Amino acid sequence: MQNHTSRTPRARFSDVLRSVAGLALLAGAGPLLAVPVVSGVSGALDHKAAITISGSGFGTKATAAPLVWDDATGSNLLSTWDGAWPNLVPGYNTSYFDPIRGIAPPHSHDSRYIAGAHATNQGAYSGYDVMVFKNITLQPFPFYIYASWYQRADNDWKFGGDNNFKTFDYSAANEPYAQSNWYVCYGPPHPGSTSDSATQWAINDDGKSLMIPTDAAGSSNWWGMAVDPMGGKWSKVETAIKVTDQLDGYVMVWENGHKVMNYQGPTDRYSGDRRSIAIGGYARVEVPSNWRYYADAYIDTSLQRVVLANKPVLTQATIIENQIPSTWSDGSISATVNLGQFNQGETAYLFVVDATGTPSAKGLAVTAGGPAAPRPPSAVVVRP
């Protein structure tokens, strides 16, 4: 059932520049269409308050809410997720926790988080993996997946072996790491310390879906530099996937707003009709101190979303917080506010991202805890 072997990809540092039109075509948009425009917001931008966003070009979204939104305020992890590992090691099982081991949440609006430990080496359910996952029925190609979450590792992390450390898994099954799966990880042997500046994002395949080691654009499966998860800080990871068996698929990853991966090529050439989407994963060293922590997990089978960012152009933002929509029409979206890292009184910028991954050209300036202050849109910027 489980396959944790890891082929070593060829090292490469690259960053592929894209034009706006090229990105729109990559996202499956065809000819460039009108981008979303946010013209106003009613309601105060207080954490967990209700707001209504008005504008145009939002498109329609049959199910407004994301597939998963988990800010650890629930009482039972399995009310939101289809599974969490480990689940057979009392005291170390992945669950909701008040702050433990001196690890504070990523921001003041979270009082709890998801955590679990690689406490033993007795299998996937007992310490190999620390992860949460959601199962879906395979949709007609192409379809899209967007996921985001905060992550970090324990301050007392123990290193060893090749320091294999995985962060996201897409699997052809009802649980992660089936024989047919691909995953996002860090390139071994990094991270190998709490200050490893050579930590690098990578992607690999235990099945036969991805073009490994060279993708459709000629890029290797080693990508941009990463925040060391053992370095004592939280980082925010976003992943956008075009799920298809054709060459125009992609896996894009951002960390703290910076694009760190842009794989191009097939993303699903597996059989069967069930898929598992997992945040977290395997680590090489299984000892009781090797805890992992996650917060504000968001998964959807659509690129459509609403975000608050700290810059008026989304590609320049380093703080990006997902809002939680409850209704969605072409000119109006109702949502619950998630301030995340934004504090009361700070200026943020509100964006709507459409089904192609195209965001508002310029964010609408708003004040945390206050009303919106409309600003005119400017040039088109695409961030799938």
| Same-domain pairing of 266 and 369 | no
Over 90: is that where the pLDDT of 251 sits? yes
Same-domain check for residues 94 and 76? yes
Overall average pLDDT of the 207-218 stretch: 95
Average pLDDT over residues 203-213: 94
pLDDT of 33: 60
Q: What is the pLDDT of residues 270-297, one digit of tens each?
A: 999 999 999 999 999 999 999 999 999 9
Mean pLDDT of 297-305: 98
Is 156 in the same domain as 257? yes
pLDDT at residue 330, as a whole number: 97
330 and 271 both lie in a single domain: no
Tell me, yes or no, whether 162 and 112 share the same domain: yes
Domain limit, last residue, from 268, 300, 332:
300
Q: Is 11 a member of any domain?
A: no
**Residues 88-139 pLDDT 10s:** 999 999 999 999 999 999 999 999 999 999 999 999 999 999 999 999 999 9
Q: 351 and 281: one domain?
A: no
Range 77-84 average pLDDT: 98
The CATH code of the domain that includes 120 is 2.60.120.200
Segment 163-174, tens digit of pLDDT:
999 999 999 999
* Digit-coded pLDDT (tens) for 135-155: 999 999 999 999 999 999 999
**Residue ending a domain, choose from 300, 321, 353:** 300
**Cα angle for residues 33, 38, 43 (degrees, 5° grid):** 155
Does residue 27 belong to any structural domain of this protein? no
**Same-domain pairing of 257 and 234:** yes
Contact 279, 229 (CB under 8 A): no
Is residue 19 situated within a structural domain? Answer: no
Q: Can you tell me whether residue 64 is helix, strand or coil? A: coil
Distance CA 184, CA 238 (A): 12
Of the candidates 376, 356, 364, the one whose C-alpha atom is nearest the C-alpha of residue 32 is 356
Of the candidates 149, 181, 184, 154, which has an alpha carbon nearest to the alpha carbon of residue 166?
184
Q: Where would I find the H helices in 232-280?
A: none
- With respect to residue 15, please indicate whether it lies within any of the assigned structural domains: no
- 80 in the same domain as 215: yes
pLDDT of residue 31: 40
Q: Among candidates 199, 183, 201, which has minimal Cα distance to 191?
A: 199
Predicted confidence at residue 375, as pLDDT, reads 39
**Judgement on whether residues 221 and 260 belong to the same structural domain of the protein:** yes
Name the residue with higher pLDDT: 375 or 109.
Answer: 109
- Give a yes or no: residue 22 inside a domain: no
Q: How many helices (H) and strands (E) does the chain have?
A: 1, 24
Taking residues 220-224, what's their average pLDDT?
96
Other CB atoms within 10 A of residue 111 CB: 12
Q: Specify the pLDDT at position 371.
A: 60
Mean pLDDT to the nearest integer, 65-76:
97
DSSP-derived letter for residue 78 is G
Using pLDDT thresholds of 50, 70 and 90, give the confidence band for residue 9: very low
Percent of the chain with pLDDT over 70: 88
Q: Are residues 172 and 52 part of one domain?
A: no
Nearest C-alpha neighbor of 375 from the set 143, 40, 27, 129: 40
Residue 155 is predicted with a pLDDT of 97
Q: Which band of pLDDT confidence, cut at 50, 70 and 90, is reported for residue 370?
A: low
Q: How many domains does the chain have?
A: 2
Domain membership of residue 122 (yes or no) is yes
Q: Using one digit for the tens of pLDDT, what is the confidence trace for 11-68? A: 333 333 333 333 333 344 334 468 999 999 999 899 999 999 999 999 999 999 999 9
pTM: 0.89
* Phi, psi angles (nearest 5°) of residue 4: -110, 10
Q: Are residues 225 and 117 in the same domain?
A: yes
Mean pLDDT for the chain overall: 90
The string of DSSP letters for 203-214 reads: EEESSS-S--SB
What pLDDT does 60 receive? 97
Cα separation, 164 vs 149, in Å, equals 20
List the domain range (segments joined by +) for residue 343: 33-63+304-373
> Do residues 58 and 150 touch, judged by C-beta distance below 8 A?
no
The CATH number of residue 55's host domain is 2.60.40.10
pLDDT value at residue 179: 84
Summarize the confidence of residues 337-365 as an average pLDDT.
97
**For the chain, percent of residues with pLDDT exceeding 90:** 85
Q: Are residues 272 and 124 in the same domain?
A: yes
Q: Which among 253, 275, 300 is the end of a domain?
A: 300
* Nearest C-alpha neighbor of 50 from the set 41, 58, 59: 41
